[in-house]
Chains A and B, each alone.
Chain A
Amino acid sequence: MAANTSSIKIEHNKNQNNSVVVEMEHLKKSFGNNHVLHDINLVIHKGENLVILGKSGTGKSVLIKCIVGLIDLDEGKLVILGQNISELNDKELIEIRKKIGFLFQSAALYDSMTVRENLEFPLRRQMNPVPKETIDSLVKEALQNVGLADAIDMKPSELSGGMRKRLGLARTLILKPEIMLYDEPTTGLDPITSKEICSLILQVQEIYNTSSIIITHDIECAKLIANRIIVMVDGKCAAEGSYADLENSSDTLVRSFFE
């Protein structure tokens, strides 16, 4: 996973095909009187990088938490990999979750565990009994992919912000998910580290043909990684298109995100 960003950018549009992996119809979610999501309709294709832009508090994070089942929907239909999420029982939901990776904004690393243990945790929980050698090799491979092989015995508290994000990504990717959800992957990082994270997102798409939803405020990142962009305003999809389309949108509010 050491190819440079620009070469991947040229290649990564080829990965998409027309099979739908996530389908949302009329999604609604409220917290008390606060209506966070209004009638969201969205489709994500296999191998596609979908970037969601929007001001803070417009329901972007709630949307991806609904996808992974952390928040229950009030209304609407959400189909993931052909299965309607609201009709799944506990076991079926866990099976679906195994196919979805979620990179939290804070990386959500387990503080009490070392880097190695953070990576071993999902493997031990999800896979049938696996020989220690297999787990070791998967952990080492995942760390090499994100350039953290030397940090294997460190605690998360000893890592920098960028390293924590990369470790969070490695922990998510170790189960080879079909869908990746990124919640502000570059927030709080310097421009160089942000580019590294963007590069990793593209590499994930390239190598695993993963479909991704990326929530970000980082326009440079969006420009680099997006196949398609959605702008959310007040819990609704206000605009949809490629970076070039939206950059030249006639809607001043949409255009303001790109200025």
Chain B
Amino acid sequence: MDKMISRSNQREVRGIENNTKQFSETIPDSVFKKFFLEVYSLTIFTLRFFKEVIKPPYEFNEVIKQSFIIGYKSLSLVGITGFIIGLVLTIQSRPTLVKFGAVSLLPAMVAVSIIREIGPAITALIFAGKVGSGIGAELASMNVTEQIDAMSVSGTNPFKYLVVTRVFSATLMLPLLVVFADTIGLLGSFVGINLKDKVSAYLFFSQVFQSLGFNDLFPAFIKTFFFGFAIGLIGSYKGYNSNKGTEGVGKAANSAVVFGSLMVFIIDMIAVQITSLFQS
């Protein structure tokens, strides 16, 4: 029996469905049943990811290709958004600081806001909208048109080839995109300050770097890996396990964005709690 279950898991037949079915038979019908089944199958999916990610052969070429699609092709969107956020945040904050005679703190305030929270959170939300939905729709569409089955039949492990590579690339690319968005956001802030005041780039960035410490940079950077992982994983999970039919594609894309964005906030909340433990 153990051998049968283990073999079933190894096969690329999306054994999650079988496991979920067995699990579903053990718990009574209730309003929470669907929720628990979803959590259960997502957990199985996540465990399978960790099992497959360490097991050779490694799909380096596909990881590079996906990193290019996920990372490079998101640069312009993330850059424009980052610039606008930096600019708007600076313009909106200035009148309040002027009231308290603290306008000279504007670069520091904006820098801390962008680096600690706004940069990672907004970039992750954009990432969930663009990349999460893209992964969800693409895999669901492949599922509907039997392309995933065709991969299995041709002797390829579709979970490794499609899911592991996308989740891995999303985990790696989001932190880099956040660094990029933060940098562009600070440039936007510099432009915003110079719309009303005259501040040199040297002075602006001196104040920015003086205001930022290890406690601001490190936790903010680390949490972006978790954001990327969650978005990639949920997008892949929704797409890979989508219902057949075109409706399934739409649902997969939609729920990839909704749950991906929700996970960003949940992870952010946990990260803030953990960070504050060390800071206090």
Contact = CB atoms under 8 A, between A and B. Distances in A.
Nearest first, the 4 closest Cβ-Cβ pairs linking A and B are A108-B150, A90-B10, A108-B146, A122-B154
A70 interface: yes
A93 B11 contact: yes
A122 B155 contact: yes
Interface in A55-83: 65, 68-72
17 contacts: A86-B4, A89-B10, A94-B155, A98-B155, A104-B146, A106-B145, A108-B145, A110-B150, A111-B141, A112-B138, A121-B154, A121-B156, A122-B156, A125-B155, A126-B154, A126-B155, A175-B154
B147 A97 contact: no
B127 to A, nearest CB: 21
Nearest to B13: A70
A109 B147 contact: yes
Nearest to A89: B7
B146 A97 contact: no
B11 A111 contact: no
Interface residues on A, range: 20 to 34
A111 B137 CA distance: 13
Nearest to B8: A72
Contacts of A215: none
Q: Which one of A69, A86, A100, A171 has the greatest number of beta carbons of chain B within 10 Å?
A: A69
Interface string B191-207: 00000000000000000
Given A72-B8, A90-B7, A111 B154 contact: no
A69 B141 CA distance: 22
Interface residues of B, number: 20
Given A70-B13, A97-B155, A104 B141 contact: no
Interface of A: 65, 68-72, 86, 88-90, 93-94, 97-98, 100, 102, 104-106, 108-112, 121-122, 125-126, 171, 175
Contacts of A86: 4
A253 to B, nearest CB: 29
Interface string B1-21: 000100110110100001000
Interface in B135-168: 138, 141-142, 145-147, 149-150, 152-156
Contacts of B8: 72
Nearest to A110: B147
A90 B11 contact: yes
A71 B146 CA distance: 13
